[in-house]
Amino acid sequence: MPASAETMETAGGMKEAPPKMEEKPEWWASPAVVGLMGFGTTTMIAGLTNLPAPYSAGFANNWVVFGMAMAFGGTAQFAAGLIALRKGNMFAGSAFIGYGSFWWAFTLMLYTFVGLAPGASAGTAIYYGIAAFAFVWMLFTFTFLINAPKHGWGVFMVFLFLTIAFLLLTVKFWSLGMSGTGSPFYIGTLPNGTFQTGAANWAVGGEIIFDGFLAWYVATADLTNWNYGRKVLPS
């Protein structure tokens, strides 16, 4: 046990109300590390799938994301949210449950339901649908962004770059739906026979990977500070 009574929430800025003196000590540990790691690691892998070809070739069709999304990004993060709510932490609990649900929705959308979309063979309906999906989650993320400054610079940066990531994804898939092969995000063979790598995907994929890295760092800082009982890593 650490020498300090500081919890991971206080170390990372997510403060909870202290228990009354007559209450028994809280026996649920903070779920912050599990929640942030589930989000961060899954997000980094998802970012790799958005890089331009041939760098994303090994992650085509998101197959490598689905297992992580269901097990760690989805289920584990959702469980972390339930624990956080049980501990009275509305911000962390709502975020973890929300993004745990996001990864389940993401997996079901692309693996189960995307083939049912009208005009799926042409891709346009799918692109517009994913753009709408990303836009709604951008709004969800913005709600947390405007409340994040109270919870430390690390948490604020995670939500800031996540908001930007969903904005870029909205633009990407809306652009693909409107212009197809004329989009800088398009990856494939053009009518003239040349292969387009979709260079603009460097910005999308790189930004998403960076946001996942930020979440990983905040989780690492929270665990390290709790374990050593003092602020070793700033967060």
Range of the domain at 131: 29-226
Q: What is the largest CA-CA distance in the chain?
A: 76
CB 198 within 8 A of CB 187: yes
Q: What's residue 47's pLDDT?
A: 94
Query: Model pTM greater than 0.85?
Result: no
- Is pLDDT of 212 > 80? yes
Is residue 75 situated within a structural domain? yes
Dump pLDDT digits (tens) for 5-18.
Answer: 444 454 445 555 55
| Mean pLDDT on 218-224 | 96
* Cβ atoms within 10 Å of 199's Cβ, excluding its own: 11
- Is pLDDT of 56 > 90? no
Residues contacting residue 217 through CB under 8 Å, at least 6 positions apart:
154, 233, 235
> Nearest Cα to 12, choosing from 119, 131, 95?
95
User: In the predicted model, what is the mean pLDDT of the chain?
Assistant: 85
CB 232 within 8 A of CB 224: yes
| Mean pLDDT on 22-39 | 82
Q: To which H or E segment does residue 235 belong? A: none
Least confident of 39-43, 60-64, 66-70: 60-64
Is residue 212 situated within a structural domain? yes
Is residue 17 situated within a structural domain? no
Structure tokens, 126: 């799918």
Tokens 């891709």, residue? 123
Structure tokens, 232: 């070793």
Dump pLDDT digits (tens) for 75-99.
Answer: 999 999 999 999 999 999 999 999 9
Is residue 170 situated within a structural domain? yes
Q: What's residue 61's pLDDT?
A: 66
Structure tokens, 215: 């979440």
| Domains contained in the chain, number | 1
172/163 Cα distance (integer angstroms): 14
Q: What's residue 7's pLDDT?
A: 47
Q: Report the DSSP beta bridge partners of residue 195.
A: 189
